[in-house]
Every structure is written in structure tokens, then in C-alpha cells.
Structure 1
Amino acid sequence: MKTLFPILFILVAGGILFGFINPTWSEIKVLREEEEKYNSALDRSRLLQETRDQLLSRYNTFSPAELARLEKFLPDNVDNVRLILDIDSIAGRYGMRIRDVILSSDTSRTDLGQLGPDENRFDSRILSFSVTGSYTEFRAFLEDLEQSLRLVDVMKITFSSTDSGVYDYSLSIKTYWLKP
């Protein structure tokens, strides 16, 4: 009997260890790992909030006029009508009007071998149009177009002459905007 109680206590202790403590301990380990993940996510969210606050304070340092200029330089949406009106306004300064306006997608950026989402942060369109004027007026128009706030690349220029010294110019320009 003296040896029976210690053996019985050892068996009961082993049963409690393997039947209750070990599964509970495993659950505690899983919960601690989960807690670490949540704490890590909270730390990252605090860092993101700090970064957001810093960027917001930097954004608020810009004046409304500077923000309007930035929006005109690289808009966050495609505003074809505004672009055409801006270019027509520039051409109007030199007695020219744009005509034969054609808006098309930028096919040079299409990559048929690309799989997955497009990682570019901007998109572009090609705007083709014609103007009529003297060479001097056209050069001044191009200089103003170059100096304008709207980001455009002149892709192609063709011209034809007339007997009166006035030329017909056809232009293709590429314009950009930020993707949402």
C-alpha cells in the first residue's frame, strides 16, 4: 500500500499533465502567437498613422494656388474637355483655332506579354489636332504649350504649305494623369 499511493499519484499527475495541462499550454502558445501578430499589426498601424499625419501636415503647407497648379500639371482624372479648351486658349493667343480633334488611347504602353495588374501610377492619352497659322505663330504656340502647366509631350508634327504663306500643322501630343 505504501508504494501504491505514490504510483497512483504519479499516474494521476501524468494524466493531469497530458490530459489538461498540455492541451491548455498549447492553446496558450497559440494565443500568445496571435497576440504577437495583433501587437505587430497595431505597431504598423501606429507607424502608418504617424506617416499619414506627417504627409497631411506637409500637404497643408501648400497654398490653394499651389495645389491648383499641381492639379493642372498632373490631374488625378482625365479631363479631355479641359485639356482641349486649354490648348485652344493657347492657340487663340496667336490667332489660331484647333480643329480635327481626335482623342485616342496610348497604344505604345500596351504590353501584351504583361500579366497581372498594371503597376503604373499614371495613364496617358494621345490627342491629335490641327491648327493653321504662320511659322512664327506656330513656334510661339509651341513655346507656350511647352511653358503651360499641363504636362504634355509632343509626339508628332506634320505640316503642309499653302500659297498664302500660312501652313496647316497637324500635331499629336501625349498627356498624362494620375490613376485613382
Structure 2
Amino acid sequence: MSRPIFSTILIVLAVVVFFSFVNPTYEEVRALSEESAQFDNALNRSKELQSVRDELLSRYNTFSNENLDRIEKLLPDNLDNVRLILDLDGIASKYGMLIKNVSIADKEEETSGVVLPQSPVGKMELSFAMTGSYSEFKKFMSDLEQSLRIVDLKRLSFKPQEQNEDIINFEVSVRTYWLK
């Protein structure tokens, strides 16, 4: 009779040891194993990202400095109002025109209460006045169109001067872009 009691005590003791020591340790090992798998996955992902970065860097290094400067001028990485105004003034002065009454406004797109993801491209509207002949203005606009900087004509109004109808007062608004 003592043998069945002893066996029962051993079974109960084994169950107690299992649930109090072995099972918690096993669960801990399993959790650590899952965490290790997540770290391995993150490490593999970081290695993939490093290889993509290295590939992009090598492609970037294949561009000549001249082309990089052209890209920088096309879509600058900061809002450079002074440089834009100087570029416009340089084009205008080539045709004997003078830019005056310059005003600048940052333009954020109006949303109708809808939250949109933020664009990586900023927009700025530049308004100015100039005076000259129509043919000079056409040449100015042609040069502006051919310049490297992305510029959209937003508004144009003109009015001939009362004293000399060959001379026209132009009001121009353009939009330009930059990387945020």
C-alpha cells in the first residue's frame, strides 16, 4: 500500500515541479527565442537597407558635379528667395527690364478638412511688377521657361502706359518649388 502512495506523491511532486519550475522556464526560453527571431529579422532588414543605401550612394556618386548643381537649381533643398529673385532680375535685365514690387507668399494647399500626408515639396508664390515692351516680355518669359528652376506662371496681367502705348506694365505671379 505504501507503494501506490509513494507513486502518487512522486506524480504530484513531478506535476508541482513542472508547473512551478520547468514550465515557467520553458515559457521564458520560448519568449526569448521569439525575441531573438525578431532581432534576427531586424538585423537582416538593416543589412538590406545598408545595401540599398550603398547602391544609392554609388549611383549618386556617378553624377557629375555639374549635373548635381543643375539638379540643385531645378529643385533646391531649401527656400532660397534671394537666389530666385536674383535669377529673375538677371533675366529681366538682359532685356532692359526692371523687376519691382516683389512680394513672396508661402503657399500650402488648402484642404477641405481632410488630413493629407505632408508633401516633401514646398511651394512658394512670388509676385512682381515689371515694365517693358511686349517683345521684351516674350523674350523674358521664354528665358524663364528655359531656366533650370521649376517655375509655374500663376497670374499675368498687363496694362499699357498712358504716355507710351508701346511700354506695358506687367504684373506677374509665379509659383516655384523646393524640397522640404
TM-score of the superposed pair, with normalisation by structure 1: 0.93
* Deviation, structure 1 residue 82: 0.4
The reply on whether 1:143 has 2:149 as its aligned counterpart is no
The aligned residue for residue 160 of structure 2 is 161
Separation in 1, partners of 2:155, 2:115: 30
Secondary structure of 2:3's match? coil
Matches within 5 A, 1:120-135: 120-135=119-134
Unaligned runs of 5+ in 2: none
Runs of 5+ unmatched residues, structure 1: none
Segment of structure 1 superposing worse, 167-176 or 4-13: 4-13
Query: Residue 74 of structure 1: CA displacement?
Result: 0.2
Q: CA deviation at 1:131?
A: 1.0
How far apart are residue 30 of structure 1 and its match? 1.1
Amino acid paired to 2:11: I
SS at match of 2:76: coil
C-alpha distance in structure 2 between counterparts of 1:27 and 1:3, whole Å:
34
Measured in 1, the distance between the counterparts of 2:168 and 2:36 equals: 74
* 2-structure distance, mates of 1:59, 1:119: 26
Distance 2:36 2:157 in 1: 67
Instruction: Tell me whether 1:28 sits opposite 2:29 in the alignment.
Output: yes
Q: CA deviation at 1:144?
A: 0.2
CA distance in 2, matches of 1:119, 1:43: 30
Counterpart for residue 58 of structure 2: 57
Name the % identity.
45
Q: Distance in 1 between matches of 2:112 and 2:84?
A: 29
- In the TM superposition, 1:1-180 aligns within 5 A as 1-106=2-107, 109-115=109-115, 118-162=117-161, 163-164=163-164, 165-179=166-180
Question: Following TM superposition, by how much is the alpha carbon of 1:112 offset from its aligned partner in structure 2, in angstroms?
Answer: 4.9
Provide the aligned C-alpha RMSD in A.
1.3
Letter in 2 for 1:91: A
Quote how far apart the aligned CAs of 1:105 are. Answer: 2.0
Rounded Cα–Cα distance in structure 2 between residues aligned with 1:114 and 1:127: 27
The residue type paired with residue 33 of structure 2 is R
Runs of 4+ aligned structure 1 residues displaced above 6 Å come to: none
Q: Secondary structure at the match of 1:114?
A: coil
Alpha-carbon distance between aligned partners in 2 of 1:123 and 1:112, rounded to the nearest angstrom: 19
Matched AA of 1:125: M
The alignment of Structure 1 onto Structure 2 pairs a total of residues equal to 177
Query: C-alpha deviations, 1:92-126, integer Å up to 9, x for none?
Result: 1101110000101225x12251337x421101010
Following the alignment from structure 1 to structure 2, what is the Cα–Cα distance between the partners of residues 103 and 2?
Answer: 98
